[in-house]
Amino acid sequence: MSGYTPGEQPQDDGFVKLNTNENPYPPSPRVAEAVAAALPRLNKYPDPTAGAFRRTAAEVLGLDPNWILCGNGSDDVLTIVTRALVGPGEAVRYPYPTYILYRTLAQLQGARFEEVLFQSDWTLPTDFAAEAEGVKLVYLANPNSPSGTMIAPDDVLRLAERLPCPLLVDEAYADFADTNCLHLPQQCDRIMVSRTLSKSYALAGLRFGFLVARPELIEQFVKVKDSYNCDGLSIAAAAAALADQAWLAEHRAKLRATRARLTVALRDLGFVTVESQANFTWNTHPTEPARPIYEELKRQRILVRYMDYPRWGDGLRITVGTDAEIDCLIDRLRKIV
Amino acid sequence: MSGYTPGEQPQDDGFVKLNTNENPYPPSPRVAEAVAAALPRLNKYPDPTAGAFRRTAAEVLGLDPNWILCGNGSDDVLTIVTRALVGPGEAVRYPYPTYILYRTLAQLQGARFEEVLFQSDWTLPTDFAAEAEGVKLVYLANPNSPSGTMIAPDDVLRLAERLPCPLLVDEAYADFADTNCLHLPQQCDRIMVSRTLSKSYALAGLRFGFLVARPELIEQFVKVKDSYNCDGLSIAAAAAALADQAWLAEHRAKLRATRARLTVALRDLGFVTVESQANFTWNTHPTEPARPIYEELKRQRILVRYMDYPRWGDGLRITVGTDAEIDCLIDRLRKIV
């Protein structure tokens, strides 16, 4: 197997970086305060249960702390759930195209993967809920990447009720959407929801994510995770970021407004731009091939994500940056297409 | 399976904590500076290869950076190596008693585990190197926990040459020892060495460890790890801590001196205290049972680690704290035993 390859991460700052769905704004100022306060305890092991974060999340999200499991990024949460539920020779299912990591997680477990093609309008075909031998876990990125589209929460609930196994709704981008599924684990045994602080809270560098699921599932997952999977600085920082809901509301509104501008501008340039509920848009062009556009932008120090999905096609996934970054992108694109 | 249970981690500061081998001193002051400098980039993903740390480690340790893999604590490194090398139905081998996590890692992979009893003087029996069906990985904690004893590097090399599979030398405590095996991966294909910054660099709260192995092995392990397994703050902090070798030398000397005092004092109280190369000692008593001592100390807000190993026996593992903490412990013990 080849492993999962993340987007390019140049370590110098000379790029306009619109390729890995990072938030262009610095995080809440409370993060730096929380990190400073946590430093003196760094010689001691962190709380293995990340209690400080779970208590804050419970309060902010209206949940009980024992419904929450924390991870070293939501990738860690996805790994934990997969290792706990899926054995060698068993299978996972997910729509296609979607987050490429799901396939890698299955391969690492020696499990099969069923990739069910989205319909052309990014809705799920009926057979996505079909019975199938050995399927132990279904992933649903919602909003999806690369499309930015969503399956409505009511439809997710109906899907879960028909599925033969648990459904993990990966809500990495949900804070940018109109709705979300965070309430569903309490309505349906089979639904789990994962979140990350990487995108909406501008903490990609921190690695912090969490899962919302029934306590009896959480107990099983705790056995699989590294004892101290979250470090002391990130627990404190993540709790502080989540507690600052005013910061989230302000930056969410800003990015949604920029997303609307980006969408209009790309369509004006002739792109077919999918209406997005995330902090990126998915773009194809009826006449201009995608790869040369990506390459030319990169030469001009603007990184967007070129994605080529066999059986589906290629396109450009463009992260919603600041207004200035988007202006710069559009300006360059105008000379390319 | 029951999962791995770490030592008690009370989240209030009212305990003298001598139970989980933390360093009692705060880390190098360069850590706080490095964290502060890394904060402004927190909205961006970290370097997936932790290049800043690997370059520093290469320089400090006299290695090439492509011999180094970083992990979210050395537990993450152990997990990565196990997942990459050991499949379901295959087996791992390790001495017994040792770090309890090795068994959990095998169980999580659906693998068997061969526990080979140490000899009574904590040396390895000859058959530790025996051929055996399906053994794909051997772990050797060196210094070992709970004993604090070491297998000499030359003996480790001879062992590896006779083994049927790779040998992972877990050097979590090596900075407290007289010698170590960090040079062996370059002498023998089969040897890998893992390190952590948790103990000797006083960074248990940070979660940072690394592996030294041949580049072709590292490449395989990279496919198994989470893309962004180390966060941006920890990469910067770990690099800064490792670069401060003067801090390490000073605190290593301090803890080794306190270890000598602790050993003498415990022996004066009648304990059988194994000569330790780590930052803890392993203690039994010819007449006083261990568990009530642990319980009475805990009532008095001193935490030591009570360990009971089936087929071996129980005892107290006591972390080397500050001189004041050790004085306090010895003072209380004097009234108990």
Specify the residue for token string 């680690």.
B305
For residue B304, what are the β-bridge partners?
A: B18
DSSP classification of residue A146: T
Specify the residue for token string 């390190």.
B195
Would you state the structure tokens that stand for residue A260, as one six-digit string?
A: 């609307």
Chain A residues touching B236 at Cβ < 8 A = none
Specify the residue for token string 């904060």.
B39
pLDDT digits (tens, 9 = 90+) for A43-53: 999 999 999 99
- Closest by alpha carbon to B106, among B143, B70, B132, B79? B79
d(CA B212, CA B208): 14
Helices in chain A by DSSP H: which ranges?
Answer: 29-38, 51-61, 74-85, 101-108, 153-162, 215-224, 232-243, 245-268, 290-299, 323-336
pLDDT at B3: 79
**CA dihedral (B320, B324, B327, B328) positive or negative:** negative
Contact: A1, B223; criterion CB under 8 Å: yes
Would you state the structure tokens that stand for residue A124, as one six-digit string?
A: 């799920």
Would you state the structure tokens that stand for residue B196, as one six-digit string?
A: 């952590």
Chain B residues touching A207 at Cβ < 8 A = 46, 72, 228-231
Residue A12 reports pLDDT greater than 80: no
d(CA B57, CA B80): 20
A84, closest residue in chain B (CA to CA): B108
Q: Tell me the residue type at A303.
A: L
CA distance A231 to chain B (A): 5
pLDDT digits (tens, 9 = 90+) for A93-119: 999 999 999 999 999 999 999 999 999
Query: Is B60 exposed, middle or buried, given 0-12, 13-18 or 19+ CB atoms closer than 10 A?
Result: middle
pLDDT at B292: 98
Write the residue in A46, A110, A224 that is nearest to B205 by C-beta: A46
pLDDT at B48: 96
d(CA A11, CA A288): 30
- Closest by alpha carbon to B307, among B319, B322, B299? B319
pLDDT digits (tens, 9 = 90+) for A133-149: 999 999 999 999 999 99
Backbone φ, ψ for residue A309 (5° rounding)? -105, 110
Q: State the pairing for strand pair B280-284/B272-273.
A: antiparallel
In our burial notation (b when 16+ CB lie closer than 10 A, e otherwise), range B293-316 reads bbeebbeeebbbbbbeeeeeeebb
Chain B residues touching A38 at Cβ < 8 A = 205
Chain A residues touching B224 at Cβ < 8 A = 3, 108
d(CA B258, CA B265): 10
Q: What is the ipTM of this complex?
A: 0.95
Give CA separation, B277 vs A112, B160, B237, in Å.
47, 21, 26
DSSP classification of residue B89: T
- Closest by alpha carbon to A21, among A242, A307, A250? A307
Chain B residues touching A26 at Cβ < 8 A = 40, 42-43
CA distance A307 to chain B (A): 18
Chain A residues touching B12 at Cβ < 8 A = none
pLDDT at A3: 79
pLDDT at A248: 98
Mean pLDDT (whole number) for A287-295:
98
Interface A-B, measured as beta-carbon pairs within 8 A, has a size of 181
Backbone φ, ψ for residue B195 (5° rounding)? -135, 160
d(CA B51, CA A306): 25
Write the residue in B4, B41, B229 that is nearest to A72 by C-beta: B229
Angle, vertex CA A255, rays to CA A294 and CA A73, nearest 5: 80
CA distance A286 to chain B (A): 32
Would you state the structure tokens that stand for residue B37, as one six-digit string?
A: 């400098």
d(CA A202, CA A219): 29
CA distance B126 to chain A (A): 33
Contact: A51, B11; criterion CB under 8 Å: yes
Would you state the structure tokens that stand for residue B257, as one six-digit string?
A: 């001196």
B207, closest residue in chain A (CA to CA): A231
- Closest by alpha carbon to B274, among B175, B177, B146, B176? B146
Would you state the structure tokens that stand for residue B81, as one six-digit string?
A: 């190596």
d(CA A177, CA A164): 28
- Closest by alpha carbon to A140, among A165, A120, A112, A121? A165
Q: Give the HSE-up count for residue B62: Cα atoms under 13 Å, Cβ half-sphere.
A: 5
pLDDT digits (tens, 9 = 90+) for A298-325: 999 999 999 999 999 999 999 999 999 9
Residue A192 reports pLDDT greater than 90: yes
Low-confidence ranges of chain B (pLDDT < 70): none
d(CA B337, CA B334): 6
pLDDT at A6: 82
Mean pLDDT (whole number) for A259-281:
98
Q: Which H helix or E strand runs over A28?
A: none
Give CA separation, B17 vs A303, A307, B30, B266, in Å.
49, 51, 25, 17
Q: Tell me the residue type at B5.
A: T
DSSP letters, B274-305, are ---SSSEEEEE-SSS-HHHHHHHHHHTTEEEE
Would you state the structure tokens that stand for residue B105, as one six-digit string?
A: 């890692």
Helix, coil or strand: residue B172: coil
Chain B residues touching A41 at Cβ < 8 A = 205
d(CA A227, CA B45): 24
pLDDT at B12: 72
Q: Which H helix or E strand runs over B242?
A: helix B232-243
d(CA A332, CA A269): 11
Would you state the structure tokens that stand for residue A327, as one six-digit string?
A: 């202006």
First to last CA, chain B: 37
Write the residue in A39, A40, A222 that is nearest to B3 by C-beta: A222
CA distance A288 to chain B (A): 30
Residue A219 reports pLDDT greater than 90: yes
Identify whether the C-beta of residue B283 lies closer than 8 Å to the C-beta of residue B271: yes
